[in-house]
């Protein structure tokens, strides 16, 4: 990765290059590129190549893992369930966006968040030895999930790309950004995934299962280089960016979200606290903060509905501004 003159000092190009150079190669990188190419082609031709009818959002969802061994038996993980990303994807699709859903394997999926934990076993029943049917109590939810999902995928508006490790996540994110570059301001990044801050570099990682017989384990974790500035400045300089800030201490949340907004030149930072993340978020923008709440008494069943509505409006304003300036 070449260092560009005039780009901000805080971009650690050397560290980023080392990270990618030493990461294990993405197993199905060519397939991912092909899927991205076909997805974007389908969307642009279905709108007659009218770029202004063609908005794409990359939604990242779930937590990245950090393997401790190359032939991985153990890994470090985090709490993120992918609920925010999956639910937001549904609202973006409803608002007319095409969505690239970059999700942690086995995390929540769009249209499935209200199904039971084990839908296959809990939603279906056998009536006789050869016939399986949807259990009447889940019938409406299952039909709705299947028809919405099929409409999005068959219509070519939803592309799902799974990741597991921090290496896979960042490698695929780079491929997505490269593919979406031509969309300019019509592209949006909604970075809800909880990305590991620390990792074990591949070359210093044990190849085989770490043995417990050697006693307590001392392990030094390296810092994952900050990719947000390179994504924002180099990979997708015209796109609309939403990042998330998560804290467990309310007193520092808004200060840190504001710092992230300025430092990484985000258009919006969504600030949330671990325990109340499903009830309330604060949308931090350069022109002020807006609180977005779930309010079941007013029919607002989740935070994501009003949040996505607000972000779509802000994205429209960003597109208009970009057109005026060009
Ligand atoms: C978030 O803050 C998301 O809203 C949650 C959603 C992960 C809390 P769930 O998946 O939870 O619905 O269970 N995502 C970003 C968290 C994060 O790692 N942010 C970094 C930080 O806070 C910046 S990239 O420093």
CA of 45 to the centre of ligand 1 (A): 34
**What is the distance between the alpha carbons of residues 177 and 147, in angstroms, rounded to a whole number?**
30
pLDDT at 7: 57
Spatial separation of the C-alpha atoms in residues 167 and 227, rounded to whole Å: 12
246 Cβ closer than 6 Å to some ligand 1 atom: yes
Burial of 325 (0-12, 13-18, 19+ CB in 10 A): exposed
Confidence of residue 305 (pLDDT cuts 50, 70, 90): very high
C-alpha 271 to ligand 1 mean position (Å): 9
pLDDT at 2: 56
Question: Residue for token digits 């299962």?
Answer: 209
The pLDDT value given to residue 298: 85
Q: Which two tokens stand for residue 5?
A: 């003159």
pLDDT number for residue 320: 95
* pLDDT score, position 223: 96
Does residue 84 have its Cβ closer than 6 Å to ligand 1?
yes
Our answer on whether the CB atom of 81 is closer than 6 Å to any ligand 1 atom is yes
Is pLDDT above 60 for 317? yes
Q: In a 10 Å sphere around its CB, with 0-12 CB exposed, 13-18 middle and 19+ buried, how is residue 42 labelled?
A: middle
Q: Which of 65, 107, 246 to mutate to test the pocket of ligand 1 (most atoms within 8 A of CB)?
A: 246
Tens digit of each residue's pLDDT (9 = 90 or more) over 79-137: 999 999 999 999 999 999 999 999 999 999 999 998 988 888 999 998 887 889 999 89
Question: What's the chain's average pLDDT?
Answer: 93
Rounded distance between C-alpha atoms, residue 139 and residue 133, angstroms: 9
Region 210-229 average pLDDT: 94
The response to whether residue 80 sits with its C-beta less than 6 Å from ligand 1 reads yes
Buried b (16+ CB within 10 A) or exposed e, 108-137: bbbbbbebeeeeeeebeeeeeeeeeeeeee
pLDDT in tens, 21-74: 999 999 999 999 999 999 999 998 766 555 556 899 999 999 999 999 999 999
For ligand 1, is residue 243 a contact (CB within 6 Å)? yes
More confident residue, 12 or 268: 268
**Ligand 1 close to Cβ of residue 192 (< 6 A):** yes
| Predicted confidence band of residue 296 (pLDDT cuts 50, 70, 90) | confident
CA of 185 to the centre of ligand 1 (A): 24
- The predicted model scores a pTM of 0.94
Residue range 236-245: average pLDDT?
A: 97
Mutate to test the pocket of ligand 1, among 78, 84, 105, 224 (most ligand atoms within 8 A of CB): 84
Nearest to 77 by CA among 161, 163, 164: 164
């Amino acid at each position: 990765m070449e260092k560009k003159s005039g780009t901000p000092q805080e971009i650690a190009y050397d560290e980023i290059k080392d990270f990618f150079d030493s990461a294990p190669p993405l197993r199905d990188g060519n397939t991912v590129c092909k899927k991205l190419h076909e997805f974007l082609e389908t969307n642009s031709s279905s709108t007659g190549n009218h770029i202004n009818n063609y908005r794409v959002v990359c939604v990242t969802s779930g937590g990245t893992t950090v393997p401790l061994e190359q032939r991985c038996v153990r890994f470090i993980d985090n709490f993120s369930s992918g609920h925010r990303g999956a639910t937001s994807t549904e609202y973006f699709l409803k608002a007319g966006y095409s969505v690239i859903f970059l999700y942690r394997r086995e995390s929540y999926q769009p249209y499935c968040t209200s199904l039971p934990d084990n839908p296959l076993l809990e939603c279906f029943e056998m009536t006789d030895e050869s016939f399986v049917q949807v259990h009447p109590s889940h019938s409406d939810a299952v039909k709705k999930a299947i028809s919405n999902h099929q409409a999005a995928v068959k219509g070519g508006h939803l592309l799902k790309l799974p990741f597991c490790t921090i290496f896979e996540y960042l490698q695929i994110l780079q491929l997505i950004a490269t593919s979406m570059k031509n969309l300019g301001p019509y592209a949006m990044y909604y970075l809800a995934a909880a990305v590991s801050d620390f990792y074990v570099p591949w070359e210093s990682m044990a190849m085989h299962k770490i043995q417990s017989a050697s006693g307590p384990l001392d392990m030094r974790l390296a810092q994952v280089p900050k990719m947000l500035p390179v994504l924002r400045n180099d990979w997708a300089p015209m796109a609309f960016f939403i990042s998330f800030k998560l804290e467990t201490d309310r007193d520092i949340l808004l200060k840190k979200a504001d710092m992230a907004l300025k430092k990484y030149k985000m258009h919006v930072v969504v600030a949330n606290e671990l325990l109340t993340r499903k009830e309330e978020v604060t949308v931090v923008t350069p022109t002020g903060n807006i609180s977005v709440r779930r309010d079941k008494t007013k029919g607002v069943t989740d935070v994501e509905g009003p949040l996505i509505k607000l972000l779509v409006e802000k994205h429209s304003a960003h597109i208009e501004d970009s057109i005026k300036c060009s």
